[in-house]
Each structure stands twice: as structure tokens, then as C-alpha cells.
């Protein structure tokens, strides 16, 4: 028979489960709520930016730095794990900080727990914008995650990316492996899968969790529950000009297409008018010359008859 658990053993197991739940809750926390990604206003230039050790715009040091892990501004010496002992003294400013994180560019306080665990659990380790490919050190704004594909986005491109994120790479909703209708869609790969090809052989799936993508492992969703669209390709010439149908107008209004910009603009082409006028003048001169030659020939014939 197994040994009976003691009270201390039961208490240790409950604490272990509680700590596991706290860690999982921290992983599911919104990226904008982390202290290392909070809003900071510079003391000198008064510009809002992400929490960082030095101002991104004027490179000035802040008067009250914030810890990137625990978010505190003043060390009260309650935990007792401070590396620098300050018995009976509350520390702020540079007396509270202990290091600068290489990932989020923020101060970390001199607490032992923050110094030893923040670098391994920093949420901005791979924070590179998927649109502009800029990291934390390359711009002053905060970092966000796309609500559809969970990719990192900077503050400048977050709305533009999320507006065009739900677009498939294919031109229809069919499965990539067959011609069946794709019932599941991966918003990270932008691919649809049918009921047969969404499941891999020899892999166990949890009933309470959504099915992962066979390609990238991202959680898929049913296509009918998404406001998703397909990619459309419009083929045409690089340059187009559409002239007006009115021949009575003096100026021809043309519609030109600029390649690479994707928009049309109207303009008045003066070259066509000048060319047409010169052609008309040339034709009139030719007609006058032909008439003179005919008159000379008629005069010669009359002289011969006389």
C-alpha cells in the first residue's frame, strides 16, 4: 500500500499547484500590462514612450525609474532579498536599480528575485515588429501583439496590420492538400485545412483545446467563426491611358496609371494637341503644293494645243 501523505506533504503539493497557476496566468497576461512595456513620460522632453532606462528622444535619465519585473518605484525592504542592504531606509532612483535588461531596455531593481528571473522571463525577448522589422532599441513606442496571429507589432503598425491580417494566401477557401472545403484556418500561416488534414497521425489532441496547425503549431479556428477573406489578383498593363470620347474638346483629358503606386491620376496632355496641329498644317501645305502643280500642267497642255 502507498504511504499516507502527511500534512506537510499535502501543503507542499498545494503550494506547487498554486505557483504553477500563477506562472501560467503570467504567461497569458496581456503584453501591454507588463511593467517593462508600460507607458513612461520623460521628465525633460515630456514625451510619452515605453518604459526604458534612458529617454529615447533626449537620452536623459529619469528621476524615478520603474523596475521592469515587479514594477515598483520605491524599495520598502519588505521581501528581504535585496542584494544591497539598506536597513531602515527606503531607496528610490539609482539607489534602487541593479541592472538594465538587454531585451526591454528597462531598469531592474536590486532585488535578488528580479535580477535572477527577469532576463529569462522577459516578454520582449523576440519582440521584433513583423511589419517594419524593428526591435525595442530601434523605436521609442511600446510593443503589442496581434489579436489574430499573435505576432509582435510596434505602436506605429499595430492598426494597419490588424486591419489586413485576416486575408488568406490562396484565392479560395479550399484545403491545401485536397479540394475539400477548409473548415479550419490558421491565421499565422494564412492556410485552410479540412477535417482530414488538420490532424496528424500518431499525435494525441486534447478535446478541450483547439486543434493546432500542422505546419506551425499555432491554434487554429473554424473558418465560419472568422471574418476572413481571400487574396484577389488583378492583372493588367503597367501603363494605361484612357482618352475622352468627346472630340469637340480642345484638350484631351487622359487617365494615367502609375506602376508601383496603385492609383490613377488625371492630366492634360498637351503633346497630342501640338502633334495633331502640326500634322494638319503639313497636310494643308501638301494640298497647296499639289494644286499648284496641277495648274502648271494644265497651262502647258493649253500652250501645246495653241
Residue 285 has a pLDDT of 54
pLDDT, tens only, 115-139: 998 888 888 888 899 888 898 888 8
31 φ, ψ (degrees, to nearest 5): -65, -30
Quickly state the pLDDT bin for 1 (edges 50, 70, 90). Answer: low
Most confident range, picked from 24-38, 107-121, 272-286:
107-121
pLDDT, tens only, 194-253: 888 888 877 788 777 888 888 888 888 888 777 777 776 665 554 454 444 444 454 444
d(CA 25, CA 27): 5
* String of DSSP letters for 247-278: SS-SS-EEEEE-TTT--EEEEE-HHHHHHHHH
Provide the residue ranges of all domains of the chain, joining segments of one domain with +.
30-125, 127-165, 167-233
What is the pTM (predicted TM-score) of this model? 0.58
**CA distances from residue 146 to 199, 209, 224, 265 in whole angstroms, order as listed:** 26, 20, 20, 35
Residue 299 has a pLDDT of 63
297 φ, ψ (degrees, to nearest 5): -65, -40
Sign of CA dihedral 209, 213, 218, 219: negative
Amino acid at each position: 500500500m502507498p504511504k499516507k501523505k502527511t500534512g506537510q506533504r499535502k501543503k507542499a503539493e498545494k503550494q506547487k499547484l498554486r505557483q504553477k497557476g500563477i506562472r501560467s496566468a503570467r504567461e497569458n497576461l496581456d503584453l501591454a500590462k507588463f511593467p517593462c512595456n508600460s507607458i513612461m513620460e520623460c521628465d525633460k522632453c515630456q514625451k510619452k514612450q515605453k518604459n526604458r532606462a534612458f529617454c529615447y528622444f533626449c537620452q536623459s535619465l529619469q528621476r524615478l525609474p520603474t523596475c521592469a519585473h515587479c514594477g515598483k518605484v520605491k524599495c520598502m525592504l519588505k521581501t528581504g532579498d535585496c542584494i544591497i542592504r539598506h536597513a531602515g531606509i527606503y531607496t528610490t532612483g539609482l539607489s534602487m536599480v541593479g541592472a538594465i535588461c538587454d531585451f526591454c531596455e528597462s531598469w531592474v531593481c536590486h532585488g535578488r528575485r528580479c535580477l535572477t528571473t527577469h532576463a529569462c522571463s522577459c516578454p520582449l525577448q523576440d519582440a521584433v515588429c513583423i511589419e517594419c522589422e524593428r526591435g525595442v532599441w530601434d523605436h521609442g513606442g511600446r510593443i503589442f501583439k496581434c489579436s489574430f496571429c499573435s505576432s509582435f507589432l510596434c505602436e506605429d503598425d499595430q492598426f494597419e496590420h490588424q486591419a489586413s491580417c485576416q486575408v488568406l494566401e490562396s484565392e479560395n477557401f479550399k484545403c491545401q492538400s485536397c479540394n475539400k472545403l477548409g473548415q479550419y484556418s490558421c491565421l499565422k500561416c494564412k492556410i485552410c485545412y479540412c477535417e482530414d488534414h488538420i490532424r496528424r497521425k500518431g499525435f494525441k489532441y486534447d478535446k478541450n483545446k483547439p486543434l493546432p496547425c500542422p505546419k506551425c503549431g499555432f491554434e487554429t479556428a473554424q473558418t465560419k467563426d472568422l471574418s476572413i477573406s481571400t487574396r484577389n489578383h488583378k492583372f493588367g498593363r503597367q501603363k494605361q491611358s484612357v482618352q475622352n470620347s468627346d472630340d469637340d474638346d480642345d484638350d484631351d483629358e487622359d487617365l494615367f496609371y502609375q506602376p508601383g503606386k496603385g492609383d490613377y491620376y488625371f492630366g492634360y496632355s498637351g503633346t497630342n494637341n501640338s502633334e495633331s496641329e502640326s500634322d494638319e498644317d503639313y497636310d494643308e501645305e501638301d494640298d497647296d503644293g499639289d494644286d499648284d502643280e496641277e495648274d502648271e500642267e494644265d497651262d502647258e497642255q493649253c500652250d501645246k494645243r495653241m
